[in-house]
């Protein structure tokens, strides 16, 4: 890349869009111009890639979320021009990090589901695989989080307020999506997905809802202004906010509209392209399209494709069903009952009457098949898709797809042996495992360049960036003190950087020399942030009782958002923030422990947190976390796991060794045995310190602002609730084991060389957990697509 030409292009963009040159432009304007310059540079390769993919089989990844993160730094790295652009900007006195920080995180996802989808797209492009992502272009993200007196407060996440230089509207490809109460336009916005060290550029196509009629002129002219734009507002609501609160009927209707909207638009898009490239014989549709359903949100695609093929393209039902099953595959991300999505039949019947009829027909067909196989009435009722006025989306997915996959070895084992056992016995050939991964480009090369440089130096090649298994070659340095010291110095640098970042963003000073004990993930009861909080409070009380208690100083860092309607999760946030006030404000603690709950945790914050961690908290109840990918990001940055034998933790331990991690708690088999007679009060009364920390919820130690949320939290542990048993996630059972594991961390950290070896062995054995490996398996074993390098 010619640096002078690049900066000339940036200057031209600034003058064209903002009427000013580089010297007068704001940071935001400079960022925008650099981004638009990159878009200009990649335009030809993007078009060439689309042309190359047209004739062969393509995969389409349907997901309600794509948690992309900032694009500028990642795209420059994948293009191989980051350093050149940095140097060019340096000469003008512009810090590239300032431009990167000017970019808003794209508000297109929430948690692991959306970030996995983003990592998958990165790997698809890097491997030159013909894959298009399809989702919704939300105007606002799930929300921006801040704390007010310790409570979570949600604000609108207007990530598009400065524009979006990375998206191109393709109005010529607009389609119409129809509901019983009206029609809307779906406008596609294409975002380029750059692979590393390749000219191939894939596409993420996001749909934005717009009205058929912008506004009613007659109503406006009659001064009925609100009515004049009613259709516009109702249409735009569909793509306004990620995961709108659905505690009331109107929210449920909007969520269903969102799901059908992007699914119908995406399938119409595929059918249009199929006609252009392959004609109108849809019996071969599945030979050119593999559609992956990312969890149950897009499962309405199954009846929608049947509608399009039968009602619009004139196929017979049986032919269309064969094509549909051959087209779709389904990824199951959970065993939690509430996440195995079900819908009220009446809602479908009212909003999507034709889709409802098709689901009825699919259910009837399935029931007849089970009868022919000799299933009893009880078995059929248990498995049928429509039952008790509910539509079971996971059941529809398994029946309507050729493949269902879990996302970690243990998760898939639980699915086929327990949760989906009936389905596995019916369709054993349809089940596979595809252990999740993370992209090393964003989660090491971009977020930890210091460590990436050390790896490249020791290996003598950058090949590891596209073949993470090469990290295994570094195992020979496990006993090399010089290498280990350099490695730990990098960790110290990342800790200082994080400490500075937290001070800037939270106004809190933390000690970079303390153990950084980090739990960052979506706030949910099964992830057990509450167990972590109870241990911190217990440690505080023990330090108060025994000021001479010797511990390595520890900084406990949390990052998480609670869904707006998830009352109990919000109570946990408030409780942790109350503990932080108590601990951080006590001069007798002398900095031995500190608690920080960072606000508005997202991808950009994560890029600072993962490389700086000393301890990776992965403490979900065994059998509840399908996989996890945060655990992999920590491992990739050389951080031992403190966790249960759950999700991908199992495979992390298999790869890096249990001696190099800290595993605790009941395993799945034990919890299955004790769940019917489990009594948390036994532990509450007998485990030293446990009663004290649980009762701190209600004994006046902490203030919940009169909400009663702490009382409800206390009751959920000891008494349960109408919808679950007492201590549903076995916090009391695992508390003592967790405390012992934390003590083991403390002792291990006191031996710097041995600790460095644990960290190193996690890093060098993390090669399995690349999405490059995961996507290669999807391509070969589910999608049956081949690389197509331009």
Q: What is the pLDDT of residues 645-667, one digit of tens each?
A: 999 999 999 999 999 999 999 99
| Residues forming the active site | 333, 521-522, 527, 629, 633
Q: Does any domain span residue 2?
A: no
CA angle 164, 169, 172 (to 5 degrees): 175
- Indicate the pairing of strand 151-155 with strand 144-148: antiparallel
Those residues whose C-beta lies under 8 Å from the C-beta of residue 389, and which sit 6 or more positions away, are 344, 345, 346
Mean pLDDT of the region 372-394: 96
Q: Are 294 and 62 in contact, with CB atoms under 8 Å apart?
A: yes
Q: What is the pLDDT of residue 340?
A: 82
**Which CA distances in Å does 47 have to 54, 189, 289, 744, 763?**
11, 15, 20, 55, 38
Q: Does any domain span residue 631?
A: yes
pLDDT of 225 higher than 70: no
Domain-terminating residue out of 243, 258, 286? 286
Q: What is the pLDDT of residues 279-301, one digit of tens each?
A: 999 999 999 999 999 999 999 99
**What is the per-residue burial (b if ≥16 Cβ within 10 Å, else e) of 573-594?**
bbbbbbbbebbbeeeebeebbb
Q: Does any domain span residue 181?
A: yes
Q: Does any domain span residue 50?
A: no
Domain-terminating residue out of 286, 311, 337? 286
**Which CA distances in Å does 205 have to 75, 132, 189, 326?**
17, 7, 6, 23
Q: Does any domain span residue 790?
A: no
Centre a 10 Å sphere on the Cβ of residue 279 and count the other Cβ atoms it contains. Answer: 9
Question: Mean pLDDT across the chain, nearest whole number?
Answer: 96
CATH code, domain with 490: 3.40.50.2000
Q: Identify the burial level of 48 via C-beta atoms within 10 angstroms of its C-beta, where 0-12 means exposed, 13-18 middle and 19 or more buried.
A: middle
Q: What is the pLDDT of residue 3?
A: 87
User: What's the pTM value of the predicted model, to 2 decimals?
Assistant: 0.96
CA angle 664, 648, 600 (to 5 degrees): 90
Q: How far apart are CA 286 and CA 284, in angstroms?
A: 6
614: closest CA among 453, 749, 757, 508? 749
Percent pLDDT > 70 in the chain is: 99
* Greater model confidence, 445 or 226: 445
Among the residue ranges 217-226, 232-241, 328-337, 350-359, the one predicted with the least confidence is 217-226
Q: Does any domain span residue 347?
A: no
Among the residue ranges 52-61, 143-152, 218-227, 597-606, the one predicted with the least confidence is 218-227
- Indicate the pairing of strand 168-169 with strand 431-433: unpaired
Q: What is the pLDDT of residue 339?
A: 66
Those residues whose C-beta lies under 8 Å from the C-beta of residue 575, and which sit 6 or more positions away, are 530, 533, 697, 702, 704, 710, 713
- CA 514 from chain centre, in angstroms, equals 29
Mean pLDDT of the region 374-393: 96
Q: What is the pLDDT of residues 234-246, one digit of tens each?
A: 999 999 999 888 8
Q: What is the pLDDT of residues 727-766, one digit of tens each?
A: 999 999 999 999 999 999 999 999 999 999 999 999 999 9
**Which CA distances in Å does 458 have to 378, 477, 753, 756?**
62, 9, 19, 17
Q: How far apart are CA 739 and CA 372, in angstroms?
A: 55
Those residues whose C-beta lies under 8 Å from the C-beta of residue 552, and which sit 6 or more positions away, are 514, 515, 746, 749, 750
The residue segments making up the domain with residue 592 are 440-669+727-775
DSSP 476: G
Q: Does any domain span residue 589?
A: yes
Q: Does any domain span residue 426?
A: no
Domain-terminating residue out of 259, 286, 313? 286
Q: What is the pLDDT of residue 459?
A: 98
Query: Looking at the 3D structure of the chain, how many domains does it have?
Result: 2
């Amino acid at each position: 890349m010619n640096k002078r030409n690049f900066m000339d292009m940036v200057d031209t963009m600034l003058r064209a869009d903002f009427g000013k040159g580089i010297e007068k432009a704001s940071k935001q304007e400079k960022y925008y111009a650099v981004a638009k310059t990159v878009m200009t540079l990649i335009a030809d390769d993007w078009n060439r890639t689309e042309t190359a993919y047209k004739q062969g089989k393509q995969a389409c990844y349907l997901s309600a979320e794509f948690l992309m993160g900032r694009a500028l730094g990642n795209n420059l790295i994948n293009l191989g021009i980051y350093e050149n652009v940095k140097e060019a900007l340096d000469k003008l006195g512009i810090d590239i990090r300032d431009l990167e920080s000017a970019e808003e995180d794209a508000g297109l996802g929430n948690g692991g589901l959306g970030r996995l989808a983003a990592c998958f797209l990165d790997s698809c492009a890097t491997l030159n695989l013909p894959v298009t992502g399809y989702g919704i272009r939300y105007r606002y993200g799930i929300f921006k989080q801040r704390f007010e007196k310790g409570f979570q407060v949600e604000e609108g996440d207007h990530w598009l307020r400065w524009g979006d230089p990375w998206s191109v509207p393709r109005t010529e490809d607009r389609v119409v999506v129809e509901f019983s109460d009206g029609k809307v336009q779906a406008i596609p916005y294409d975002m380029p997905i750059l692979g590393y060290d390749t000219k191939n550029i894939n596409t993420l196509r996001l749909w934005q809802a717009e009205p058929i009629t912008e506004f009613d002129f007659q109503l406006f002219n009659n001064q009925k202004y609100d009515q004049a734009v009613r259709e516009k507002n109702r249409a735009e609501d569909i793509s306004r906010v990620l995961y709108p609160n659905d505690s009331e009927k109107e929210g449920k209707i909007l969520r269903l509209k969102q799901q059908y909207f992007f699914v119908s638009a995406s399938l119409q898009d595929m059918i249009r392209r199929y006609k252009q490239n392959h004609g109108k014989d849809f019996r071969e549709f599945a030979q050119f399209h593999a559609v992956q359903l990312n969890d149950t949100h897009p499962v309405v695609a199954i009846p929608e494709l049947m509608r399009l093929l039968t009602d619009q393209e004139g196929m017979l039902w049986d032919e269309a069903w064969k094509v549909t099953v051959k087209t779709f595959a389904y990824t199951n991300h959970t065993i939690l009952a509430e996440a195995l999505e079900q819908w009220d039949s009446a809602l479908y019947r009212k909003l999507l009457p034709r889709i409802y009829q098709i689901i009825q027909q699919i259910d009837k067909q399935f029931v007849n098949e089970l009868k022919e196989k000799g299933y009893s009435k009880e078995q059929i009722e248990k498995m049928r898709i429509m039952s008790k006025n509910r539509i079971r989306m996971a059941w529809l997915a398994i029946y309507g797809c050729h493949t269902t996959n879990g996302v970690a070895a243990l998760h898939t084992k639980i699915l086929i042996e327990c949760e989906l056992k009936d389905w596995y016995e019916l369709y054993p050939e349809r089940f596979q495992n595809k252990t999740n991964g993370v992209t090393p480009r964003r989660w090491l090369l971009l977020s930890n360049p210091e460590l990436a440089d050390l790896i490249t130096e020791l290996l003598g090649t950058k090949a590891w960036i596209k073949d993470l298994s090469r990290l295994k070659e570094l195992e020979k340095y496990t006993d090399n003190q010089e290498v280990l010291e350099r490695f730990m110095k990098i960790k110290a640098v990342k800790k200082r950087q994080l400490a500075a970042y937290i001070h800037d963003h939270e106004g809190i000073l933390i000690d970079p020399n303390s153990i950084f004990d980090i739990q960052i993930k979506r706030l949910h009861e099964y992830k057990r942030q509450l167990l972590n909080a109870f241990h911190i409070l217990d440690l505080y009380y023990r330090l108060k009782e025994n000021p001479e208690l010797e511990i390595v100083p520890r900084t406990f860092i949390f990052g998480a958002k609670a869904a707006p309607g998830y009352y109990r999760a919000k109570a946990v946030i408030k409780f942790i923030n109350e503990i932080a006030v108590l601990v951080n404000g006590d001069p007798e603690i002398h900095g031995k422990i500190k608690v920080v709950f960072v606000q508005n945790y997202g991808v950009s914050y994560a890029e600072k947190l993962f490389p700086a961690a000393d301890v990776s908290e992965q403490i979900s109840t065994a059998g509840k976390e399908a996989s996890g990918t945060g655990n992999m990001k920590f491992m990739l940055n050389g951080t031992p796991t403190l966790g249960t034998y759950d999700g991908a933790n199992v495979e992390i331990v298999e790869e890096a060794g249990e001696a190099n991690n800290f595993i605790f708690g009941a395993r799945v088999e034990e919890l299955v045995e004790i769940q019917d007679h489990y009594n948390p009060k036994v532990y509450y009364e007998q485990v030293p310190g446990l009663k004290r920390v649980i009762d701190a919820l209600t004994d006046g130690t902490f203030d919940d602002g009169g909400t009663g949320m702490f009382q409800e939290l206390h009751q959920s542990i000891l008494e349960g609730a109408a919808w679950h048993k007492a201590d549903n996630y076995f916090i009391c059972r695992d508390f003592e084991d967790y405390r012992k594991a934390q003590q083991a961390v403390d002792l291990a950290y006191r031996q710097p060389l041995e600790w460095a070896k644990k960290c190193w062995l996690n890093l060098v054995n993390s090669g399995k957990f690349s999405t490059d490996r995961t996507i290669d398996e999807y391509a070969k074993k589910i999608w049956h697509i081949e690389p197509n390098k331009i």
